[in-house]
Amino acid sequence: MANLKTVSKKSKAQSMGMHTEVLTGRTQQKFFNPDEAENFYYFGTYDVDFNKRTELDVKDMTAPEANKEIDNLMSQGYGTIVIKNPQGKHSLGVGILNKLNLIFEGSLGYFGMGSCDGPIVRINGRVGWSCAENLMAGKVVIEKNAGSCFGAAIRGGDLICKGSVGARTGIDMKGGTIIIGGDAGAFTGFMMQRGRIIILGDVGINLGDSMYDGTIFVGGEIGSYGSDAVDAELTKSDQDWLKRKLKVAEIGENFDVSKMKKIVAGKKLWNYDNLEPTEKKGAI
């Protein structure tokens, strides 16, 4: 049997409806000290100033060299860095765990801005596959189009493409918001687990296929629904949030959000658990 503890007396948390069962021994537990000083940045990150601006020409640099130089500039306190001549190089701007204003004057190749946590990035061109993969926090804006797997497995932050995107956008995403001004390809939101996708244009076949949770908002036509993706009612709270988010994304400010379609998981595929007790017992 699963490690399920029955609690006869209702605790405050239970009476508030915060939970319905107690599971033990499955996660770590950390205790928070509320007397922590007011601090907005990760320990050991650079103290940068948005008003301190510099330019970096990466024409004759490899991607690792360029990324190291970005880190070096941040260590000198530069908060706004303009990258010249990115020329479609792959893996540019990856692993930035700092507050930063980063501007690319050109296009990026594959895996641009991967595994970032915090920066505000503007890319004035296009991006290749898997842009901003595993984004944790921050804002990434692409002025033109993006390739496949846009925002793959992102966990937080805002990822915005003003143009159109390829297939499998938001595949396996676990949080955050992806906003697309144009159209999106097939299998958008494939296996998504949390987070939100907003598409102002049309979307291809198998939208939200095998999605576990999360929400997809579509303004245009839907090619077809994927397995377990179902329509849901667009609430007033959804509409207010959509208006706010489109303003943040600098696109579709006059878009009529009340006509958008909302797609969620039907939850018919919710048939797993991480203990698999019966199976384990059988194996022993």
Partner 1 sequence: MPKKKSKKVSKTKEIKGQLGKKKETAREKMIGQSIGYRYDVNLLPDYSKLTPFLKKYIEAMGWDDLNWLEDVHMGYEEDRAAVFCRNANGWVTIPKSIKLPNNQQDRDMIARELLVKFQMSPKHPLVDLKKAYLKF
* Residues forming the site for partner 1 (CB under 8 A): 1-2, 4, 7, 11-14, 16-24, 27-34, 36, 38-44, 50, 99, 101, 118, 120, 136-139, 155-158, 175-177, 194-195, 213-215, 237-238, 241, 244-245, 247-248, 264, 270-273, 275, 277-278
How far apart (Å, rounded) are the C-alpha atoms in residues 57 and 186?
36
Q: Which residue has the tokens 């579709």?
A: 252
Residue with smaller CB distance to partner 1, 48 or 186: 48
Residue with smaller CB distance to partner 1, 154 or 167: 154
Tokens of 51: 């008003």
Burial class (CB in 10 A: 0-12, 13-18, 19+), 16: exposed
Q: How far is the CB of 242 from partner 1 (least distance, A)?
A: 9
Residue with smaller CB distance to partner 1, 63 or 186: 63
Q: How far is the CB of 243 from partner 1 (least distance, A)?
A: 11
Q: How far is the CB of 277 from partner 1 (least distance, A)?
A: 6
Residue with smaller CB distance to partner 1, 160 or 186: 160
Q: How big is the CA angle at 250 (ends 197 and 91), to the nearest 5 degrees? A: 65
Residue with smaller CB distance to partner 1, 84 or 262: 262
How far apart (Å, rounded) are the C-alpha atoms in residues 110 and 130?
6
Q: Which residue type does 26 have?
A: R
Residue 267 to residues 13, 103, 256, Cα–Cα distance (Å): 26, 40, 29
Element (H, E) at 277: helix 277-283
Q: Which residue has the tokens 């405050």?
A: 12
Q: How far is the CB of 5 from partner 1 (least distance, A)?
A: 9
Tokens of 159: 């990822």
Residue 170's SS3 state is coil
Q: How far is the CB of 156 from partner 1 (least distance, A)?
A: 3
Residue with smaller CB distance to partner 1, 14 or 85: 14
Q: Which 8-state DSSP code applies to residue 230? A: E
Tokens of 186: 């097939």
Q: What are phi and psi of 177, to 5 degrees?
A: -130, 130
Tokens of 81: 């860095």
Q: How far is the CB of 83 from partner 1 (least distance, A)?
A: 18
Q: How far is the CB of 149 from partner 1 (least distance, A)?
A: 20
Residue with smaller CB distance to partner 1, 83 or 186: 83
